[in-house]
A and B are shown apart, each in its own frame.
Chain A
Amino acid sequence: MVRFELVSKVYPGGQKAVDDLNLEARKGEFVCLIGPSGCGKTTTMKMINRLHEPTSGRIYVNGRDIMQMNPVTLRRQIGYVIQQIGLMPHMTIAENVALVPRLLGWDRARQEKRVNELLPLVGLDPATYRDRYPSELSGGQQQRVGIARAMAAMPELILMDEPFSALDPITRETLQDEMKRLQHKYKLTVVFVTHDMDEALKLGDTIVVMRSGKIVQAASPDELLRNPKDDFVAQFVGRDRTRDVSLLKVADVMIRPVTIGPEHGLAEALVLMKKRRVSSLMVVDEDDRLLGFVTPRMIEKVRRGRVADVMRPDIITASPETPLQEAFERMFLAHLDYLPAVDEEGRLVGLITSTTMVDALSQALWSDEGESE
């Protein structure tokens, strides 16, 4: 569908953005370009619809050399979605979606029909949204329109430039799911630029990791996770990711503990536990130094008085630097449900619980299980 042959792009300043690149995206393939900023991923993508022109080499779309094609005609055959969405503020949603069909000279009835087909596809009710203006929509809704607009003229190829990076995490997840669904359903070829490895892993059939204008590794997500080609890829894939359980530390998985001061009343402690749904409270002084802990059981025996009266100071702790496996062993041996983490000065900095532990371990194994879903 898209093929790069020895493509280079040198900017007027002499800076080489893309360097002898060879790449192929097969029909129906979802290709993610990823890498640190300035690696050439966006330039690479924008050369496909000739928003940037290659300095040397050839690019073929559907077997045709794009340099032999009229750029305007070329672009009308390719869907395009950008991070800032770029809906035309002076046009209604329907007009925005029908823009490319209009450029292609479709008649009005056909444009209308297409708008009414597309909006439901991206989860928007045509009756409600067709005549609204972009400013009346949320960011997520706007990008749904952006996707609909890109698909309007039924292109086989869609280019997406970090389309979801400006959205909040929940909206982002939803739109990723929908994009993947649409891509499957319509056998779309997608070239997708991102800097978010989670996103790439989730969406891509092939992930192309780039650095300094060159491809470092192009592989399936699974392959990339299992066999990163070099340290750069390993680090890039592993960043913020904790795959190797043996390497995890307490600091990587600890959560914020619920704390209380020693001078507080016991009734107050109970209410706090109930409200935060925890089975114990960490007792700290004004400087966050860990003094001990209280459980409902201890309170039950006394009922009245202050936290200081019932708390138990004999508590097993870990440092944030403690390897997770070691912390786990301590918990296991002492039959503890939780383990507070304190720094050198005795200040409470976090807490690990058995639940935290399970989460961490399952996430580490996700690379294997995630794909089979």
Chain B
Amino acid sequence: MNDLFAVLGDPALQQNLLRQTGEHITLSLAAVGLAILAAVPLGIVLTRLERFAEPVMAAVSVLQTLPSLALLAFMIPLLGIGRTPALVALFLYALLPILRNTYTGLREVPANLREAGRGMGMSNLQLLRMVELPVAFPVILTGIRTSAVMVIGWATLAAFVGGGGLGDTILTGFAMVSTPHILAGGIPVTLLALLTDFLLGRLERAGTRQART
């Protein structure tokens, strides 16, 4: 423990940690953000084109089954090193939970709500915006939460390909036989994951409470 405080007292490390935390959050946000932008519309499209749903979901499930390190490793021959391969791998990894939950969330919208909406004269877009998406929102949010927590965890791997983030300090710890470094990187990233889980969980419950049927 004393070692930990000694290491944490080093201003250079403090600066590094601060920068890495920033990088970590930016990278995770970007990956999840892009995944939302891709998966939510795709999920919507799949509910309209049912016959593509199964093959697309199956393909994305396989992506999810691949070990994250392997997925990251596949990116190196394709995209080289740095942020880009890390971002792409994390993005692919984040897709499935959001896609799956968007798709099931929308499909589980009770038929009578759809009928009521259409009967009232909503256009398809209005039906989606005013009925389907709001009702499916808690389910979609659950998917986003799963993805976000996962991405924050796997973003530590970005350090292996020069993508930065808190993984850098942890890897330094591994390389240098330094438990304090491992903790200095490991504790913040764990807290980040727990905090994200907690906050999105709160949001989810708030959403679910409101949308009880």
**Chain A residues proximal to chain B, CB less than 8 Å:** 49, 51, 71-78, 80, 82-91, 99-100, 103, 133-135, 149, 159
Given contacts A103-B126, A135-B213, A73 and B121 within 8 Å (CB-CB)? yes
Would you call B122 and A88 a contact (CB within 8 A)?
Answer: no
**CB < 8 Å neighbour of B135 from A49, A88, A133:** A88
Chain A hits for B131, CB < 8 A: 88
Would you call B120 and A90 a contact (CB within 8 A)?
Answer: no
**CB < 8 Å neighbour of B121 from A75, A133, A135:** A75
Would you call A76 and B120 a contact (CB within 8 A)?
Answer: yes
Interface string of B93-125 (1 = CB under 8 A from A): 000000000000000001011011111111100
Would you call A90 and B112 a contact (CB within 8 A)?
Answer: no
- The answer for the CA separation of A71 and B118 in the assembled complex, in Å, is 9
Q: In the complex, what's the smallest C-beta–C-beta distance from B31 to chain A, in angstroms? A: 29
- The answer for the CA separation of A99 and B210 in the assembled complex, in Å, is 18
Given contacts A89-B135, A135-B212, A99 and B115 within 8 Å (CB-CB)? no
Q: In the complex, what's the smallest C-beta–C-beta distance from B128 to chain A, in angstroms? A: 13
**CB < 8 Å neighbour of A86 from B116, B126, B130, B134:** B116
Q: Is B137 an interface residue (CB 8 A)?
A: yes
**CB < 8 Å neighbour of A100 from B118, B120, B210:** B120
Nearest B residue to A85 via CB reads: B112
- The answer for the CA separation of A58 and B137 in the assembled complex, in Å, is 41
Q: Is B38 an interface residue (CB 8 A)?
A: no
The tally of residues in B whose CB lies under 8 Å from a CB in A reads 22
Q: In the complex, what's the smallest C-beta–C-beta distance from A227 to chain B, in angstroms? A: 35
- The answer for the CA separation of A75 and B123 in the assembled complex, in Å, is 10
Q: Which 6 A-B pairs have the closest CB atoms?
A: A86-B116, A75-B121, A76-B121, A84-B112, A80-B119, A86-B112
Nearest B residue to A73 via CB reads: B121
Tell me the interface secondary structure of chain B in the complex.
helix
- The answer for the CA separation of A88 and B127 in the assembled complex, in Å, is 11
Q: In the complex, what's the smallest C-beta–C-beta distance from A45 to chain B, in angstroms? A: 10
Would you call A103 and B122 a contact (CB within 8 A)?
Answer: yes
Apart from the given pairs A75-B121, A89-B212, 16 other A-B contacts in the complex at a CB distance below 8 Å: A73-B121, A78-B121, A82-B115, A82-B116, A82-B119, A84-B112, A88-B130, A88-B131, A89-B210, A89-B211, A90-B134, A90-B211, A91-B134, A100-B120, A103-B121, A103-B126
Q: In the complex, what's the smallest C-beta–C-beta distance from A152 to chain B, in angstroms? A: 9
Chain A hits for B115, CB < 8 A: 51, 82, 86
- The answer for the CA separation of A312 and B121 in the assembled complex, in Å, is 71
Q: List 30 A-B contacts (CB under 8 A).
A: A49-B119, A51-B118, A51-B119, A71-B121, A72-B121, A72-B122, A72-B123, A73-B121, A75-B120, A75-B121, A76-B120, A77-B121, A80-B116, A82-B116, A84-B110, A85-B112, A86-B110, A86-B115, A88-B116, A88-B117, A89-B210, A90-B135, A90-B210, A91-B134, A99-B120, A100-B120, A103-B121, A103-B122, A103-B126, A135-B212
Q: In the complex, what's the smallest C-beta–C-beta distance from A135 to chain B, in angstroms? A: 4
Would you call A89 and B119 a contact (CB within 8 A)?
Answer: no
The residue among A76, A90, A133 with the most chain B CB atoms within 10 A of its own CB is: A90
